[in-house]
């Protein structure tokens, strides 16, 4: 892989144009480093803690822990980006990707707060949909890593998706209010702050108002995609997203492809079409996947040459799942980095 392992000091990084300059309104520029060779011990595996899929620590080699899907307050997580990287270190992670919904706004803050020994992979979880024949449409999430945050087309798409989410959040609140459910847009907007608005923010407001006891209860009914209050957000056509992320030098992964609890999922033939359109990886181990799902997607990945990933999809206090609950093997991580083609790819390391 085109790995470079030289640290780029802040001043040099700024001089050589490698600096990351707050692409979506986050904090200021920070030191960056080019993708680095993976320097991990031999004991490792993809898997989830509960499944025992990952190898246990041996006497000499510590198990390497890589979590490539997390959310901060830049979208619908509850840790700030700085808190998230500190939590990642405390959880014993070696590599963490920050993948907030439809934004890159958290990257700079996370990079600036990166604890020693932790690597940050900047990414975004893009709101996408597959559009099939006869008006068929299935919403899905595409992870884009290591893409150029200044790519104009992708930047415009992120902005469009975020703006749509605000209007859609207001529309869901209006629907709830019309039925006498005491939730206000002002409070939801306050909870979201500068971050990408999502249903979890509405869920928090519903919990605060005493309408429900938990986010799980809110998502089981009022906020479900099958609820009468639900309003769809704008999505990128997944094939457009694959093309734009690849054109911006990034690598892609299909997030939780079999998370049926959230709504309909696409069939294997769509995954094959996505692979043919440049998809790099796919989440096999994810908290929303059953063991049968994991076995199935693992086979699909092997057949299509997709890189198999495992990730927690951590959302802080908004979800019960912990950082590192599911992890990616160093081999898969190295494969993913090797696919990156951005002219100034960035992985933040300390």
The residues of the shown chain that bind Fe ion, judged by CB under 5 A, are: 76, 141, 255
215 binds ligand AMP (CB under 6 A): yes
Is 270:295 a contact under the CB 8 Å cutoff? no
Q: Binding to Zn ion by residue 67, rule CB under 5 A? A: no
Q: Does 313 contact Zn ion by CB under 5 A?
A: yes
* HSE of 118, CA atoms in CB hemisphere, 13 A: 26
Q: Quick one: which of 128, 129, 179 has its CA closest to 154?
A: 128
Per DSSP, 303 falls in state H
Smallest distance from Fe ion to CB 132, Å:
20
Residue number, 66 or 74, with CB nearest to Fe ion = 74
CA–centroid distance for 200 within its chain? 15
Question: Which one of 50-58, 114-122, 211-219, 312-320 is the stretch in contact with Zn ion (CB under 5 A)?
Answer: 312-320
Between the CA of residue 127 and those of 99, 164, 198, 290, what are the distances in Å?
A: 12, 11, 11, 23
Under rule CB under 6 A, residue 236 binds ligand AMP: no
Q: Which is nearer to ligand AMP, 199 or 294 (CB)?
A: 199
Selected binder of ligand AMP within 20, 64, 68, 76 (CB under 6 A): 76
User: Tokens in use for 318?
Assistant: 């908004």
Measured from the CB of residue 214, what is the shortest distance to ligand AMP in angstroms? Answer: 8
Tokens of 102: 């439809």
Strands (E), 38-105: 47-48, 66-67, 95-101
Among 319, 327, 335, 347, the residue binding ligand AMP under the rule CB under 6 A is 319
Map residues 94-133 to x or -, x wherever contact with Zn ion holds by CB under 5 A. -------------------------------x--------
77 near ligand AMP, judged by CB under 6 A: no
Lookup: tokens for 133: 């024949």
Interface with ligand AMP (CB under 6 A), residue total 11
Cβ of residue 151: shortest distance to Zn ion, in angstroms?
A: 21
String marking each residue 78-117 x if it binds ligand AMP according to CB under 6 A: -----------------------x----------------
Helices (H), the chain: 10-15, 81-90, 107-112, 152-178, 185-192, 199-208, 215-220, 238-247, 268-276, 291-304, 330-338
Distance from C-alpha of 193 to C-alpha of 238, rounded to nearest angstrom: 28
Give the binding site for Zn ion (CB under 5 A). 125, 313
């Amino acid at each position: 892989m085109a790995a470079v392992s030289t640290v780029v000091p802040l001043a040099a990084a700024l001089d050589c144009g490698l600096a990351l300059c707050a692409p979506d309104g986050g904090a200021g520029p920070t030191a960056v480093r080019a993708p680095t060779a993976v320097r991990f011990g031999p004991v490792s595996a993809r898997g989830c803690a509960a499944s025992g899929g990952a190898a246990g620590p041996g006497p000499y080699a510590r198990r390497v822990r890589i979590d490539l899907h997390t959310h901060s307050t830049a979208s619908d997580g509850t840790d700030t980006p700085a808190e998230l990287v500190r939590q990642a270190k405390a959880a014993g992670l070696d590599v963490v990707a920050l993948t907030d919904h439809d934004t890159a706004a958290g990257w700079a803050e996370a990079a600036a707060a990166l604890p020693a020994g932790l690597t940050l992979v900047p990414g975004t979880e893009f709101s996408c949909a597959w559009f099939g024949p006869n008006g068929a449409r299935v919403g899905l999430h595409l992870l884009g890593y290591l893409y150029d945050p200044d790519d104009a087309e992708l930047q415009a798409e992120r902005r469009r998706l975020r703006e749509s989410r605000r209007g859609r959040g207001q529309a869901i609140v209006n629907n709830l209010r019309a039925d006498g459910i005491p939730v206000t847009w002002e409070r939801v907007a306050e909870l979201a702050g500068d971050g990408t608005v999502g249903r979890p923010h509405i869920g928090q407001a519903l919990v605060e108002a005493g309408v429900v006891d938990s986010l799980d209860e809110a998502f089981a009914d009022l906020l479900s995609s099958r609820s009468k209050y639900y309003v769809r957000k704008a999505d990128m056509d997944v094939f457009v997203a694959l093309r734009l992320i690849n054109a911006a030098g990034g690598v892609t992964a299909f997030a939780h492809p079999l998370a049926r609890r959230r709504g309909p999922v696409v069939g294997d033939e769509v995954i094959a079409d996505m692979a043919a359109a440049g998809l790099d990886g796919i989440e096999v181990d994810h908290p929303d996947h059953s063991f049968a799902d994991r076995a199935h997607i693992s086979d699909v990945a092997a057949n299509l040459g997709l890189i198999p990933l495992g990730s927690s999809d951590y959302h802080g206090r908004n979800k019960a799942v912990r950082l590192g609950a599911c992890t990616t093997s160093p081999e898969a991580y190295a494969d993913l980095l090797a696919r990156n083609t951005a002219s100034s790819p960035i992985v933040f390391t300390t």
